[in-house]
Amino acid sequence: MKKTRVDRRFAELKKQGKKGFVAYLSAGDPNLDDTVDIVLRLEDAGVDVVELGLPFSDPLADGRVNQEAATRALEAGSTFDGVMHCIAKIRERSEIPMIFYAYMNPLLSRGFDASIEAAAGAGIDGFLLLDLPLEEAKPYRKALTDNTLNAIQLVTPTTPDERIDKIVKRANGFIYCVSREGVTGVQDSIAEGAGSLVQRIKSRSDLPVALGFGIGTADQARDAAQLADAVVVGSAIVNAFHNNPHTAEGRADAAAFVKNMVDAVKSI
């Protein structure tokens, strides 16, 4: 498969000996026009990959912060077509790698293949499909491959070794290593055992491993970067942009918070 922006970015990071930073946002929170602005600010802060939540009314893998962000996006009028237009507007100004963090229902409801084609046409680079079981993924994975999109796969602390073997064979782009059991949300520390899980994955795949779930401070981001190839931060970033005023100054403050975490990761 032709290399995506995600593939190229991780190859650059490896060549430079640097760790990656993946930032999560809910597309459409607080609205789609502001999402364009926030993504561009994240790029300026040094973020390597943006993971955009495709708004859904029942995001089961998400904690309170990201659930509320999805609700705000839907209440603001975010639709599938609106999000695709948002991606296209970002692409007019940026080549930052972007993937969708998505559930199957919004994609199936308008036709899976058509949804994937629309996302690729808008300029997305891949999908992390939260509720697509490995055993049912083959026909859907073909649509991603046909549209040169990464199929990002999750590995959790409860995933047995034999299942990790199957997951990594079907993944590309990077492996998303979930640091703890449960849903998304800021925690007090990196979960015990996260490092050993990363090593279990890396012993089975040459793909980059990104460690996420629960990372919310610069110190935690630095700790996570010592364990994995990249760090994923979600709820803390969603909170930063939501809790600061929706003004240029407020956005700058939120972006500075993110840059502090990015700098910590890049210091490794």
The candidate with the shortest Cα–Cα distance to 206, out of 164, 167, 175, 161, is 175
Q: From residue 4, give the alpha-carbon distance in Å to each of 124, 159, 198, 215, 250.
A: 9, 27, 23, 26, 33
Q: What is the DSSP letter of 172?
A: -
The answer to whether the CB of 245 falls within 8 A of the CB of 223 is: no
Active site residues: 51, 62
3-class state of residue 250 by DSSP: helix
Q: Residue 22: left (phi > 0), alpha (psi -120 to 50), or beta?
A: beta
Q: How far apart are CA 123 and CA 142, in angstroms?
A: 18
Reported as type and span, the H/E element at residue 154 is: strand 150-155
The answer to whether the CB of 151 falls within 8 A of the CB of 127 is: yes
Interhelix angle 80-91/112-122, nearest 10 degrees: 20
User: What tokens appear for 123 in the block?
Assistant: 């300029």
Q: What angle do CA 144, 20, 193 make, to 5 degrees?
A: 95
